[in-house]
Amino acid sequence: MYRYSIPQELEKKGIAIRVHSKNLLSEEDPQAYKDAQQAVNVVHNAGLASLVVRLNPIVVVKG
């Protein structure tokens, strides 16, 4: 995914985004991050933590 398409892809998913600089758009690309559920499963299966609850974010504010 290229930077110019990130806002359109997020909008299709119902995600609104506002950034100070277009250079920061790559940080908002969902492909830039690991799957959180996969990371949680690895920690749980290794016995390092217990699953307690699953939360779904409503809004995220960074900065």
Q: Is 13 annotated as a binding residue?
A: no
Q: Are 3 and 26 in contact (CB under 8 A)?
A: yes
Spatial separation of the C-alpha atoms in residues 63 and 57, rounded to whole Å: 17
Decide: 1 and 28 in contact? Cβ < 8 Å.
Answer: no
**Residues comprising the binding site for GMP?**
62
Residue numbers in the known binding site are 62
